[in-house]
Amino acid sequence: MSDRCTLIVNPVSGGYSETAVRAAVDALRRGGLAPHLLLTGGPDDAAVFAARLCAQEEHPFVIAAGGDGTVNGVLNGLEPGRATLGYIPFGTANVLGRELGLRSAGDAVARIVRRETRPLATGLLEGFGVRRRFFLMAGIGFDGQVVEGVRSDEKKRFGAGAYLLSALRTFAAWDRRPLEVEADGVAIPCHGAVICNAARYGGPFVLAPGASLFQDGFRVVLIRNPSRWRYLFLALRVVAGRGAGCGVSVLPARRVTVGGNKPVQVDGDFICHSPVTVTAEADFARLVV
């Protein structure tokens, strides 16, 4: 692996500061790396920067410094099987950091310097002209509607609280339409689905035990009961660390098709409406662990 690395930094992420970035760059240099810094100026820049690096280098070493959205942007600019991906958590929820057990940005930098990696598995979502990779989850139905309904002014003012406000509005305008899901060829009626490539959801909360960033395949969480109170009960159980409970099915799958017409989010960003197809991808990149 080359000593050259590129930090793609999101300066509007929740934990960003110039001091923190300078400290990370200095620590990388002390560790023998030669970091180059790129600051994003918009939501598409991370993917553009990553794609440019893949065009310039055969095996780029890319470090996403921001939140989970920054990592997703970088991921969607990389070419399969070529890059090494590092992560410095400067975001709000930092779910990837929790999956990796990162204690701090300093811990993340120390791991990058050690350069120990594992093969990262991802998911590829396709539909309505959209082609988007994810590393955490794809949510269709309620949580897709919540993410779609987040208002930019509320997000700037309240941060993660904007998602709670959107959830309350979604509860008030409840959508009882069923969802058409087929997992590895098996049709399953349900009301909502979260296709999990990682165990955690929304922070430290474990939604899909057994799901792994390093495993080829998903854990698909299916909410069978259309009641809004079942969703509330599910949320309370997950927050309390008690698992999904009755009315929810969790099953393994590598390919999931979702029909109907419901909002879809991946890694916390609204993408499109169903129908979509989601496919597992093994060994997409090497992830620093």
Q: Which DSSP category does 243 fall into?
A: -
pTM, 2 dp: 0.93
Q: Which residue has the tokens 């204690």?
A: 103
CA distances from 77 to 8, 64, 178, 186 (A): 12, 12, 34, 32
pLDDT in tens, the chain (289 residues): 569 999 999 998 878 899 999 999 999 999 999 999 999 999 899 999 999 999 999 999 999 999 999 999 999 999 999 999 999 999 878 999 999 999 999 999 999 999 999 999 999 999 988 999 999 999 999 999 999 999 988 887 887 788 889 999 999 999 989 999 999 999 999 999 999 999 999 888 899 999 999 999 999 999 998 888 888 888 888 877 776 667 789 999 999 999 999 999 999 999 999 999 999 999 999 999 9
Cβ atoms within 10 Å, residue 166 = 19
CA distance 252 to 9: 34
